[in-house]
Amino acid sequence: MKIFIAGHRGMVGSAIFRSLSKSQDHQIITATSTELDLRDQSAVNDFINKIKPEVIIDAAAKVGGIMANNTYPWQFLYDNVAIQTNLINAAHKNDVEKFIFLGSSCIYPKLAEQPLREDSLLTGPLEPTNEWYAIAKITGVKMCEALRKQYGRSYTSLMPTNLYGPGDNFDLETSHVLPAMIRKFHDAMVSGHSPVTLWGSGTPKREFLHVDDVASAVLHVLNGSMDHSLYNLGTGKDLSIKELAEMVQGITGHKGEIVWDSSKPDGTPRKLMDVSRLGNEGWTYSIELEEGISDTYDWFLENVENFKEVKITD
């Protein structure tokens, strides 16, 4: 298959790229954001029309944690709507057979019943700190659904839970909770086991999935015929942020104190995915959290000298 992976240098895109590159069966096409700005509609149309892929995997997005979402609502809304709209529309116009859209579990209402089922979409208000990003992603889900409904397109949305793994963003200004913890515990350990301050109360519960498991789910969708337009992607298991902190502390070898800064927001109290829909299609995760964090910490140690700061820009 001729496959265009949008966002192949990102954490998720690079895991998909690594996984698909193992097979000789696929011709993989990539473009960096400098070569092809996916917010540029005519450039995207020209590119897709020229390369004529059979499959597009959309792992390109403006991504960040609570602080970045809160500070840059315009970039999180506009960039994500533009990127996915241009790609999905170009796929449809050019008869691309399969489209796999990667979104996020933040599309579900803040107080939706746990574990989160796909049919809880649009049943209540969103978590305000990331509603800009969530609204963009909901639009992408609905675009794939509309094309499936009206034109019978095999366009599928995968909504992963919190992801982590090699290639993650460890810049404390824009990173997610798990890589931020790895960075903080590592830095504190290096500076003589100084105390580590973490946001919130530590009581919210979260679920985490290794990016190599995302790649395996993408492969599953690529090779199968999916009954639904929208699937949750996760492990179906969660733990408290406090338990996570203790796990990361153990893996990094930090021996100092953990201080919880309750003046900072906690976000959604619990976020656990109901993963039975994708389970019924025959897919399940394979990397347990402790093993996955160790693997990620090894990658961090090998790459810590080369990290770039990840800034949100216009």
Ligand X SMILES: NC(=O)c1ccc[n+]([C@@H]2O[C@H](COP(=O)([O-])OP(=O)(O)OC[C@H]3O[C@@H](n4cnc5c(N)ncnc54)[C@H](OP(=O)(O)O)[C@@H]3O)[C@@H](O)[C@H]2O)c1
- Sign of CA pseudo-dihedral 204, 175, 285, 6: positive
Residue range at the interface with ligand X (CB under 6 A); choices 66-74, 102-110, 246-254, 296-304: 102-110
Q: Is 87 in the site for ligand X (CB under 6 A)?
A: no
Q: Is 167 left (phi over 0), alpha (psi -120 to 50) or beta?
A: left
Q: Is 59 in the site for ligand X (CB under 6 A)?
A: yes
> Residue 72 catalytic?
no
Q: What is the DSSP letter of 229?
A: S
Q: Is 286 in the site for ligand X (CB under 6 A)?
A: no
Residue range at the interface with ligand X (CB under 6 A); choices 5-13, 182-190, 241-249, 296-304: 5-13
Q: Is 9 in the site for ligand X (CB under 6 A)?
A: yes
Query: By C-beta, is 257 or 288 nearer to ligand X?
Result: 288
> x/- string (CB under 6 A) for ligand X, residues 158-187?
--x-xx------------x-----------
Contact 288, 222 (CB under 8 A): no
Q: By three-state DSSP, how is residue 202 classified? A: coil
Q: Distance of CA 115 to CAs 200, 207, 221, Å?
A: 22, 11, 22
Q: Is 63 in the site for ligand X (CB under 6 A)?
A: yes
Alpha-carbon distance 74 to 146, whole Å? 25
Neighbouring residues of 289: CB distance < 8 A, sequence distance ≥ 6:
208, 235, 237, 239, 247
- Residue nearest ligand X, CB atom distance: 10
Q: Is 138 in the site for ligand X (CB under 6 A)?
A: no
Binding site for ligand X (CB under 6 A): 7, 9-13, 32-33, 37-39, 59-63, 79, 83, 102-104, 160, 162-163, 176
Question: Which residues participate in catalysis according to the annotation?
Answer: 133
